[in-house]
Amino acid sequence: MLIALFERTTSFYASLVNINAYHQPGVEAGKEAAGDFLALLTKVRGEISTATGADTEDVYHCLTHLANNGEAKQTLGNTSAADTFTK
């Protein structure tokens, strides 16, 4: 009965936010898009480190330093890998 309640709750919430909770091709497309994004993110991280000739962790500390001095803005994520920086 508990599983049936969760299924109905999911379906009801999905209808409230105007999505089809059981549309599996959409889920697959989301997984593919996330995979493409993660591959790009890994490439960008590597290019920043390669372009500067520095270790990824050193680049992170430099960006944090710039954010602390007001030269960039840091948005904290759940982990340091999820932090974002903008100019």
Domain ranges of the chain: 26-86
Taking the chain, what is the end-to-end CA distance rounded to the nearest angstrom? 52
What pLDDT does residue 13 have?
Answer: 92
83, pLDDT greater than 80: yes
DSSP 78: S
Give the model's pLDDT for residue 22: 79
Q: Is 75 helix (H, G, I), strand (E, B) or coil?
A: strand
3-state helix, strand, coil in the chain (%, to 5): 70, 5, 25
Looking at the chain, the whole-number percentage of residues with pLDDT higher than 90 is 17
Whole-model pTM above 0.75?
no
Degrees to nearest 5, angle at CA 55 with 57 and 64: 35
